[in-house]
Chain A
Amino acid sequence: MSRNENPTVTAAASDGTGHLDQDGLLPQLVAHLREHRTRLRQEWARRIQEAHLLQAMTSQEMTAETTLVYDNYVEVLETGSVEALQHYARDLSERIIPRGVETNEVVGIVLLLRDVLARSLFEKYQRDFSLLNRVLDAYEPAANRIANTVAVSFVEERERVIRQQQDSIRELSTPVLPVRERLLILPIIGVLDRERARQLTVQLLSGIRTHRAKVVVVDITGVPDVDESVANHLVRTVDASRLMGASVIITGLSPEIAQTLVTIGVDLSKMNTIGDLQGGLEEAERLLGYSVARDDGVGGP
């Protein structure tokens, strides 16, 4: 954007003393943007389509959202307060993130709007360069702040969604289920990372205490892979369980995991492992002194 044609005016306007002028200019600018609202908004929507942004949205939605964004944008220019915009941006992000809208698209459309509006200002004031300079000096910091606010709100919202999902995964991920008196099973599904392994330990050890468990079957059929630190953590968890008087049976070690563990040399000699969950439960019942027998007269389970 050509705004440095007249360096002396720029300097004068940008050093604090230009505030009086800017105070007068912004309302004028806002009035201009309000007056040409429809035309500018359509121009903006056309630019968005040209840039192939926001293709996840239908044209009606686009119209509705661009109108709202436009009004919010002008309002921020007028009041200088970004709070309402922040709120709106977060709200908007909440609606569009599930549709797969990316950060670059959101930033892209805001920058397009900034560009469209700057061009219209340029057109309007191009006859008077010093005035144009002062208008842009008033407009640009506010526009930058708006772009910044929208981008930050979008990213924050996105992070919030990610955190929320992580939390719910965490809650769901390690259930401790009592199957018989003093027998617990812990089915583990999904990748075991350090954080989950740590959480598993906490759940397992406190589960042993609350349920007074003597035997725990940890089923890792659903775990695709483990690395060395997680494997060592598992071994330590098994040791700690033993200190609390419970024996741990690990079931469902996949061939890949077995191979990994042997290759990286984790000491599993103290681990009691059994092929599948069924075998693990049978072994656990044997350890606890249960004997399960089927009634022969009944036609099966």
Chain B
Amino acid sequence: MTSPRLFSILRQGLHLIASVHTALDDSQLVRFQADLVERIGADRARGVVIDVAALDVLDSFGSRTLRDIAEMARLRGAVTVIVGIQPDVAFAMVELGMDTGSVVTALDLEEGLAELDRCLAASPLPGP
């Protein structure tokens, strides 16, 4: 791929940090979802932080995909925290009636990692 990367998935300790760099269209979102869920298994991640701070708009497909990722990650044994939702995006998501009830959110990456640590401390899985 010659164009700049649309997203990146980095490993940080037990966690994966997935940053979305620019607005993704539907097929790119599907690829993002597939890559991320794949990496959770490959890296045996216990937590996932999805950083969407670069997005100034998030449509219903986007937020559903995020919710699906969180659910799939849970099934594969990882906790997901979504961070960096902009004020406008947050309100638009609620306004559109998107059900984000089960997703954990945090203000930014730092908060998200702290949240993950808290979640994992509360429910310790038999890990490495």
Is the pairing of A and B real? Answer: yes
* Chain A residues with a Cβ under 8 A of chain B: 201-202, 205-206, 208-209, 212-214, 236-237, 239-246, 270
Verify A206–B91 contact, CB threshold 8 A. Answer: no
Verify A242–B87 contact, CB threshold 8 A. Answer: no
Q: Give B70 Cβ to nearest chain A Cβ, in Å.
A: 13
A208–B105 CA distance with the chains assembled, in angstroms? 13
Interface segment among B24-32, B34-42, B93-101: the answer is B93-101
Given A205-B91, A236-B94, A243 contacting B100 (CB threshold 8 A): yes
Give the secondary structure class of A's interface: helix
Give the residue name and chain of the A residue nearest to B63 (CB).
A243
Verify B107–A202 contact, CB threshold 8 A. Answer: no
Give the residue name and chain of the B residue nearest to A203 (CB).
B87
The range of chain B's interface size is: 20 to 34
Verify A205–B90 contact, CB threshold 8 A. Answer: yes
Q: Give A173 Cβ to nearest chain B Cβ, in Å.
A: 19
Question: Can you name 9 extra interface pairs (CB under 8 A) apart from A240-B94, A242-B105?
Answer: A205-B90, A208-B87, A236-B95, A237-B94, A239-B100, A240-B91, A243-B100, A244-B87, A245-B83
* Chain B residues with a Cβ under 8 A of chain A: 82-83, 85-91, 93-95, 100-101, 105-108, 111-112, 115
Verify A239–B94 contact, CB threshold 8 A. Answer: yes
State which of B82, B89, B91, B93 has its C-beta within 8 Å of the C-beta of A201. Answer: B91
Verify A243–B107 contact, CB threshold 8 A. Answer: no
A241–B100 CA distance with the chains assembled, in angstroms? 12
Verify B87–A245 contact, CB threshold 8 A. Answer: no
Give the residue name and chain of the B residue nearest to A198 (CB).
B91
Name the A residues within 8 Å of B88 (CB-CB). 205
Name the B residues within 8 Å of A237 (CB-CB). 91, 94
Q: Give A269 Cβ to nearest chain B Cβ, in Å.
A: 11
Give the residue name and chain of the A residue nearest to B91 (CB).
A240
Name the B residues within 8 Å of A246 (CB-CB). 107
State which of B82, B83, B87, B111 has its C-beta within 8 Å of the C-beta of A240. Answer: B87
A206–B86 CA distance with the chains assembled, in angstroms? 9
Name the B residues within 8 Å of A245 (CB-CB). 83, 105-108, 111-112, 115
